[in-house]
Amino acid sequence: MSTMNISIPESLRVHVEQKVKKGLYSTHSEYVKELIRKDLEREKLRDLIMEGINSPTGSVIDEDYFASLKRRIEE
């Protein structure tokens, strides 16, 4: 594992320290890693949403669609 030094404003440092003091995280590093993981998850979700938005429109799902499915099942 590698090390990274970052500079943050005092108010953010206090916030991180409070999270650790409350026992929500065991170290400052653990909290920052969790934030990065959540950010990666948000990016992945945003990419999936954009992929869906940009994908071609599928079949219309209406009463006729379900009737067709029912006929296929009954066959």
* Ordered per-residue pLDDT tens for the chain, 75 residues: 899 999 999 999 999 999 999 999 999 999 999 999 999 999 999 999 999 999 998 878 899 999 999 999 998
For the record, the structure tokens of 66 come out as 């379900």
pTM value?
0.69
Query: What's the gap between Cα 70 and its chain centre?
Result: 36
Radius of gyration for the chain, computed over Cα atoms and rounded to the nearest angstrom: 24
